[in-house]
């Protein structure tokens, strides 16, 4: 990380859905509450970056099944939490981030850039998040707002432990160990970087003479 990195400029708002999942009505109320506070504590004229992470943790394990076995209500629930939720909050954040020429960081998945068999609704939802991120990058380019997606990879979290109970957690990094990419995308170091997909575990800070 560059020595001159200015932590005072890094203001990140994390919009995370309840890990138990959000219904459409709950997402709407969440966004309405967010919008009521725009310009005050949550999102204001100094907000520089928004990390959008609507993660339906309780749906991951049950979602790992063939499409033919996915109930329609489960499909709708996973899409609402992991894709519609991201859309609603992203839409609410466009104004504040336009004012600061800020950055949106969309949390994707290892199954977010292709169709992986037996991953039910979760895989299509995460592919949708990456497509949405790229769309926003193009639509907001003239406004100076950046939009990128990050695949965090395996992390030592409760969600991961529930999905892979036989995995040795000692071989999986903690979330803070893969946080550099989020700091980079939230900072001015990533000016001009938009519409891309990053793998958090592969990220390395660019050399000073290569930085945007």
- pLDDT, block means (10 residues), the chain with 212 residues: 40 38 47 47 48 53 82 88 84 86 90 93 93 97 95 82 83 84 86 95 74 44
Q: What is the set of domains in the chain, with CATH numbers?
A: 8-202 (3.40.50.720)
pLDDT of residue 15: 42
pLDDT of residue 21: 41
How far the first Cα of the chain sits from its last, in Å, is: 14
pLDDT of residue 169: 85
Residue 188's contacts (CB-CB under 8 Å, 6 or more residues apart) are: 6, 9
- Residues 164, 157: contact at Cβ < 8 Å? no
pLDDT of residue 200: 92
Catalytic residues: 122
CA pair distance 121, 191, nearest whole angstrom: 34
pLDDT of residue 39: 38
pLDDT of residue 69: 93
pLDDT of residue 5: 38
């Amino acid at each position: 990380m560059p020595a001159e990195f200015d932590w005072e400029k890094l203001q990140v708002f994390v919009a995370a859905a309840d890990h138990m999942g959000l219904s459409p009505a709950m997402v709407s109320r969440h966004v309405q509450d967010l919008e009521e506070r725009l310009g005050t504590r949550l999102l204001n004229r100094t907000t520089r970056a928004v990390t959008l992470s609507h993660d339906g943790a309780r749906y991951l394990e049950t979602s790992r099944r063939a499409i033919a076995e996915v109930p329609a209500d489960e499909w709708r629930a996973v899409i609402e939490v992991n894709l519609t939720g991201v859309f609603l909050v992203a839409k609410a954040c466009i104004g504040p981030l336009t004012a600061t020429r800020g950055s949106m960081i969309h949390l994707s998945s290892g199954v977010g850039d292709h169709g992986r068999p037996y991953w039910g609704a979760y895989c299509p939802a995460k592919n949708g998040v990456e497509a949405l991120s790229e769309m926003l990058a193009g639509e907001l380019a003239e406004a100076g707002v950046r939009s990128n997606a990050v695949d965090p990879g395996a992390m030592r979290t409760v969600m991961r432990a529930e999905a892979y109970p036989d995995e040795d957690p000692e071989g999986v990094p903690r979330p803070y160990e893969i946080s550099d990419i989020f700091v980079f995308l939230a900072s001015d170091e990533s000016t001009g970087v938009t519409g891309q997909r990053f793998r958090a575990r592969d990220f390395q800070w660019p050399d000073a003479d290569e930085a945007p």
